[in-house]
Amino acid sequence: MLGFINTFVKMKIQHLKYISLLFFILSCTSPQEYKFFIGFSQCTTADSWRKDMFDGMERELSFHPEMVLEMKDANNNSQKQIVQIQSFINKKVDLLIVSPNESEAITPIIEKAFQAGIPVILVDRRTASNKYTAFVGADNFLVGQNAGIYANILLNGIGKVIEIGGLPGSSPSIDRHKGFLSVLNKYPQIKVELINSNWEKNSFENNLAKALQIDPSVKLIFAQNDRLALAVHQLLLRLGLSKKIKIIGVDGLADENGGLDMVNKGMINATILYPTGGEEAIQVAAKILKKKSFRKENILFSTIIDAKNVRIVLSQTQKMKGQQGDILRQSTKLKTLNQTYSSQRNRLYFITVLLSILILLGALLLYLLREKQHSNKILEEQNHAILEQKNEIEKVSMLARKATEDKMRFYSYISHEFKTPLSLILTPAEDLLHRKSIEPKENRTTLELIVKNANRLLRLVDQLLELRKLDAGKIELHGNQNDLRTFVKDIVGDFSVKAKSQQIDLQFICPFQTVPYSFDAEKLDKVFFNIISNAFKYTPKGGLIHVTLLKNVDKIEVIIADNGIGMNEEEKTHAFDLFYRGNQNISLGTGLGLALSQEFVTLHGGQIELNSEKEKGTTFKVILPCNQEGLFFQEPIVEMAVLKVHHVDNDFITGKKAMKQTFENTIVLIEDNHDLNDFLTQKLSQYYNISASENAEIGWEEILNHIPDLIISDVMLPGMDGFSLIQKVKSDFRTSHIPVILLTAKGQIENQIEGTKAGADAYIPKPFNQQLFEEKIKGLLENRDRMRRRFSNEVKNPSNLQKGERKFLIEFEALIEKNIKDSSLSVEKLSYELGMSRVQLFRKISALTNKNVTDYIAEFKLQKAKALLSESEKNIAEIAYETGFNNPSYFTTFFKQKTNKTPSEWRNQ
């Protein structure tokens, strides 16, 4: 007996170890993702044994989270159980566990489920068929046998036995009965009577009580379960038979009034251990579902428990229950852990997904960033290209603008070139028309002037056409071999008269007797004529112009050197520039000469070099290649005399013309065009004293010399231009009062504004009407007179004067005031103090006040004396000294002369 118990206990402990290991493994593994659905049809759930079975199942299921179990309770009703099993079949459960209420009744539905392919595990009770997958439970026949064996031991082979059977159609009831009888039938003195029950109390007590009444010799009652045994014990107690009749039960549960408890308390004699098999049923189910090998018949261990072994079994069972409790707690903990794990896993999944998204986003961002950088780079390149294009366009448009400006400048230049000769045609022609009687000689001079200027216009037009041809590349060289020495010498000779009139040292120098050379005489004639004309333009009276012809192995040089006013750097740079006008110092007299000259020399394969220094002079070097094959011309030699197309103005005047002091008003005229200068001088000298110059430098000297009443000046002048001259005149207090008329071809409004700003009093564009011009001069002079007359009446209040003039007079009066006591105060002293010459001061004061300086000082003294007489207590002598009279009687004479009263009379009036 003890051996059995040990085996049982060892098995349970082994089992628990295995469970713990499984728990550990499971706790380490992740929960399965799939699920098995198990239907469990229980015949009843009303007793502790069934509860124990279900607890065992749940414990085991806690290790199989992949399996889900649903239990239906048939309440000891076979029909109900059939319906419930059918519903599990309908649900297509993965596995069915059934504890059949009655064998025969339940067999068809189990077979149906089995045939439908649903694995079926029978627990505790069997069906009447072998169509099931596995059986888990103890051997009830053996249970009956053990009860029989123990009954025989208790009865010692003699006595009456009553067996309380279970539900008659249930397999344990049948098998236990069979097993019981199989043992006791061997003892003929033992009689067995069967009373049926439905496994529960109240179903048999009446029958048992009757049976005990009928046969009081009953020695032992075998109840097929412990609940029936308890009811038997209670009945026997009531009947007072408990000491007389022995009781054997089945199940062996450890709880209160369970088999073990009753054996321990002596309420019954023994119980046959009948395990529920809940855990084992789930273990088998797991094997089946996971397609592992399993046993069809899983027979559970069963043994007899009586007073001898009950304590150890109880203690082991309680120990086991404790461990089962631990397992349950751990299982609960495991569930919590699983849930935590699951939520953590979900979180991990979420974080992983989030991280993946972040990584993806990061990658996308990186990609976009790269893309952006790439497109930025492309954009930058495009921008750069656009910028370059823009710069290029700007450059081109700047060039275009410059070209337009150059053209405009050229047109303006050409207009000027045309306007001057036009003025000299129109003005004398109109003059002739308005004259009533004309001297024949004068008539001829005027007509000659007209013809001369018409020819000049023609020359200009020719030059323009040649430039046009040059521009279009149509101009060709025509000529043959000639003596260049003779050619150049003749051109220089043409200027000899002009040189003489201007007292210029003109020389032609050539160390060779003859310089044979192939050239286009017509073109080179224009080149040398233009350059020499230019030299004359800038060389003052008494200067020198030397023309030198040199010949080398491979080149000929014609050097035209002067010691004239020279050019500055900018003028040099643009000397050959067709459109350039710069600060207007470039000669206009040569027309398009220098630009054209350079083109002609280039046509000959040569070049022109220019050296010039301001105030020192200018040297043009015409370099022509010689002995070059390229210089052969097919056309016949043309006579040189015919080629002379130029005309030297030998009646050229530079500097000033002598002025006769005949008239009241003096005019300084500055006009670089000789003919116009001459014409105007001739016309104006009929009414005014004229000092005429051809450049502003000489003109300025004349202005200072004469302090004229009017200045007439051209704007475009060689050297200092008209605007600069006005500025000089207006900013010098010696000359600031002098009205200025600007006379120029430049008719544009902006030039007029420029001239007016500079201080011009009038602006007359060329060509002008002579009569109108003369009226303008007259008007300006009369204005000045009117102003002077008015001023002479109000010396102390020169309100009509310009600011600069007023300031001058205030300073002048302050100077008189300062020196008024000085009897030796003179015009010389005042002019010295003011930094002017005596004449300049005289002219200035006269121009501003219509008075001479001496009168002005006397007037000032008189005014002062009058003021002192009327406002002070000073006596006459004192006042005489105060006003610079050494002698009071001289003061009295002076005062009476001016006022017709003596100072005393004047004071007392």
**Residues in contact with ligand FRU by the rule CB under 6 A:** 44, 47, 49-50, 124-125, 166, 170, 172, 199, 225, 227, 250-251, 274
3-state helix, strand, coil in the chain (%, to 5): 55, 15, 30
How near is the Cβ of 210 to ligand FRU at its closest, in Å?
A: 23
Question: Which residue number, 170 or 584, has a Cβ lying nearer to ligand FRU?
Answer: 170
Specify the long-range contacts of residues 775-784, CB closer than 8 Å, at least 24 apart: 776/741, 777/667, 777/684, 777/688, 777/710, 777/712, 777/741, 780/710, 780/739, 780/741, 781/665, 781/709, 781/710, 781/739, 783/739, 784/709, 784/739, 784/847
Q: What are phi and psi of 37, to 5 degrees?
A: -100, 120
Helix (H) or strand (E) holding 73: strand 67-73
Q: How far is the CB of 7 from ligand FRU (least distance, A)?
A: 21
Could you tell me the two tokens for 876?
A: 């006459």
By the 10 Å C-beta count (0-12 exposed, 13-18 middle, 19+ buried), 794 is classed as exposed
* Pick 304 or 704: Cβ nearer ligand FRU: 304
Residue 76 or 338: the one with the smaller Cβ distance to ligand FRU is 76
Closer by beta carbon to ligand FRU, 203 or else 727: 203
Q: Which is nearer to ligand FRU, 197 or 677 (CB)?
A: 197
Q: Which residues contact 386 (CB under 8 A, 6 or more apart)?
A: none
Residue at 145: amino acid letter: Q
Q: CB-wise, 47 or 785, nearer to ligand FRU?
A: 47
- Residue 209 Cβ, how far from ligand FRU at the closest point, in Å? 22
Q: What is the rounded distance in angstroms from the CA atom of residue 238 to the CA atom of residue 117?
A: 53
Q: How many CB atoms lie within 10 A of CB 292?
A: 9
| Smallest gap from residue 48 Cβ to ligand FRU (A) | 9
Closer to ligand FRU by Cβ: residue 99 or 691: 99
With respect to ligand FRU, which residue has the nearer C-beta, 124 or 280?
124
Q: In the complex with ligand FRU, which residue's Cβ is closer, 223 or 865? A: 223
Return the number of the residue (124 or 813) whose C-beta is nearest ligand FRU.
124
Residues 6+ apart with CB under 8 A from 809: 798, 801, 848, 849
Q: Which is nearer to ligand FRU, 74 or 596 (CB)?
A: 74
Q: What minimum distance in Å lies between the beta carbon of 95 and ligand FRU?
A: 21
Distance CA 24, CA 327 (A): 11
Residue environment code for 192-204, b if the CB has 16+ CB neighbours within 10 A, otherwise e: bebbbbbbbbebb
**CA 115 to centroid of chain Cα atoms:** 81
- Name the residue nearer to ligand FRU (CB basis): 137 or 591: 137
Q: Which is nearer to ligand FRU, 145 or 735 (CB)?
A: 145
To which H or E segment does residue 338 belong?
A: helix 310-434
Q: What is the largest CA-CA distance in the chain?
A: 206
Q: How far is the CB of 2 from ligand FRU (least distance, A)?
A: 24
Shortest reach from residue 232's CB to ligand FRU, in Å: 14
CB of 250 to ligand FRU, least distance (A): 5
User: Whose CB is nearest to ligand FRU?
Assistant: 225
Minimum CB distance to ligand FRU, residue 107 (Å):
16
Q: Which residues lie closer than 8 Å to 119 by C-beta, 6 or more apart?
A: 94, 95, 96, 133, 134, 285, 288, 289
What angle in degrees, to the nearest 10, is found between the helix axes of 853-871 and 888-899? 100
Query: From the CB of 275, what's the least distance to ligand FRU, in Å?
Result: 10
Nearer to ligand FRU, 23 or 54 (CB): 54
Q: What is the dihedral of CA 335, 341, 346, 351, to 10 degrees?
A: 160
* Least gap, CB of 199 to ligand FRU (angstroms): 4
> Measured between alpha carbons, how far is 88 from 97 in angstroms, rounded to an integer?
10
Among 71, 74, 76, residue whose Cα is nearest residue 53: 71
Q: Is 20 helix (H, G, I), strand (E, B) or coil?
A: helix
For the beta sheet containing 607-613, the strands, ordered from the edge strand earlier in sequence to the opposite edge, are 505-509, 544-551, 555-562, 617-625, 607-613
Query: Could you give the angle at the alpha carbon of 159 between the alpha carbons of 157 and 162, nearest 5°?
Result: 120
**900 φψ region: left (φ > 0), alpha (ψ -120 to 50), beta (else):** left
Residue nearer to ligand FRU on the CB measure, 249 or 421: 249
Residues 6+ apart with CB under 8 A from 154: 219, 220, 246, 248, 269, 270
Q: What token pair was written down for 728?
A: 């000089």
To ligand FRU, the closest distance from the beta carbon of 331 in angstroms equals 25
Closest distance to ligand FRU from the beta carbon of 173 (Å):
7
Closest CA to 652 of 503, 501, 837: 501
Task: Answer whether 722's CB lies under 8 Å from 715's CB.
Answer: yes
